[in-house]
Structure 1
């Protein structure tokens, strides 16, 4: 999973670095505002991919005394920073450049360089987009893309997919702005294309920031993981029943679980401790992505009261 995520991010990084250079050269030759905005867009995306790779590496660090539950949330932090960069640098610069070009229009020179760069950029961005889309398809199962995006605990692939989708839309707007500017002789169309790119980037950044914030604050794990945990630990000798579990996502493959369990009444403290050890071993043998398993001896009635309390405070 981690290697697949890195492949998607590396592909996007390689595409964006080359495209950013080409766009800046074309903008310098032709004076196109939309091309300059697209160059900044690709540059910001390149920085974002570097931050995601850094977050992926940091999130894999082993737990230590200062961080006993690991570093998984570092990836969520850097994903949130990426969303802020898309908004502040990408959308902000594109909006500023577009308004300036609308207020002070300057005719662009021969658009051939723009069209060539836009065409090449579309090929590279499209390739990166297809790789990230394939990765998302493999994970989403029967869910819709939106449901998979909302339920995903791994922001890397979806972030790249959103960035590449915004990039392809931006390329289309840039091409339209360049064509209209030359077809009508009105250079302001180029500025309006830059404003359109800013709107696309702002929408993408808001969606990414919203999901990254939810993961950073802390979400429960996927329901299927909760069911697997309860199924595995309920088979351990000495356990009468598993009332339920509370889960907390700490990283894409790192989950903390608190299990409410009813044990046999005649078990001693030492026997309960041994039973908890068997529960932890069963979770490891099942290869569940659990970094910490907490077990609370509890009757079903107390568990139901706790769940009802959580439901009362649900938004």
Structure 2
């Protein structure tokens, strides 16, 4: 569901940004407005970013190989991180440079006064449609989670990226409209430059947020506390598992979770019984949490004395 919803939101944003970029470039050529140029470059960067997200999703579907036995699911994280870099450099830094240049060489719009205003109003409408699509698709997967927590905790990067890009685009368009409007009213080109600088600061801030969140996914995040509890309940629900000695989880991709656990089993169990109980435990985990696809269970004998003498909570009790 998250992959399909993410793709729909990406395509909607891509189509909107391609059309918006073309009209902004025309407006910049006719008027020379720095805000329009910054916004045009912003739309081009966003279009490229959405292309990168689609490419990352496609490459992530490749089958596992001996060199990459857990598959290519993290390609989606890598391309999302590249998106943050592009947004920071091509979008944010360019806008800051253009705004600084125009501030020191301020001019005002002398012809085609209505063009930038009309383009920005149309662009706000198109971006609102794209943003609405991203919100609708996100609502299908975020449940009761707040928007901030959804962006921070989402394991599929596409929807948070598109949400932040569309939000930044809408706010940037409003800033550009204010800058252009004040330049037309006052004849002072520094209003246009100020709008461009504000757009640059906004894009840099969004890029930093995306980079921080995507970096966490690249480093490797474990399951949420709720999912960890689900796995533990499934492990302990059947016979043959006395307790969980320790367990670790890791997202191999947005829809694939690795579960590795050392479980305490009865001392008297035979090999056939042990193997059957482990198979049953794996089945229970997959039924309770379908994204838990790679499961590795290590049977052991629980020794309380060894657990208490371990140097830290993550240390393993010595096997019997």
Q: Which one is further off, 136-145 or 13-22?
A: 136-145
Q: Which runs of 4+ in 1 moved over 6 A?
A: none
Q: Secondary structure at the match of 1:110?
A: coil
Aligned length: 310
Counterpart residue number, 2:241 = 239
TM-superposition CA deviations, 1:73-131 (whole Å, max 9, x none)? 11111110000100011001111111111111222123211111111111110011111
Q: Secondary structure at the match of 1:256?
A: strand
Counterpart residue number, 1:25 = 26
Q: Contact conserved, 1:243 with 1:300, CA < 8 A, in 2?
A: no
Counterpart residue number, 2:318 = none
Structure 1 residue runs of 5 or longer lacking an equivalent are 311-315
How many angstroms apart in 2 are the aligned matches of 1:156 and 1:303? 42
| Aligned-pair CA distance for 1:297 | 2.6
How many angstroms apart in 1 are the aligned matches of 2:278 and 2:36? 61
| Aligned-pair CA distance for 1:134 | 2.1
- Please give the TM-score of this superposition, normalised by the length of structure 1: 0.93
Q: Contact conserved, 1:13 with 1:50, CA < 8 A, in 2?
A: yes
List aligned pairs for 1:1-315, cutoff 5 A: 1=1, 2-108=3-109, 109-286=111-288, 288-298=290-300, 299=302, 301=304, 305=310, 308-309=313-314
Q: Secondary structure at the match of 1:239?
A: coil
RMSD: 1.9
- Please give the TM-score of this superposition, normalised by the length of structure 2: 0.91
How many angstroms apart in 2 are the aligned matches of 1:306 and 1:153? 32
How many angstroms apart in 2 are the aligned matches of 1:281 and 1:62? 23
How many angstroms apart in 1 are the aligned matches of 2:8 and 2:295? 32
| Aligned-pair CA distance for 1:135 | 2.4
How many angstroms apart in 1 are the aligned matches of 2:307 and 2:87? 44
CA spacing shift, 1:49–1:306, aligned 2, 3 Å: farther
Q: Secondary structure at the match of 1:267?
A: coil
| Aligned-pair CA distance for 1:309 | 4.0
Counterpart residue number, 1:313 = none
Q: Which one is further off, 65-74 or 137-146?
A: 137-146
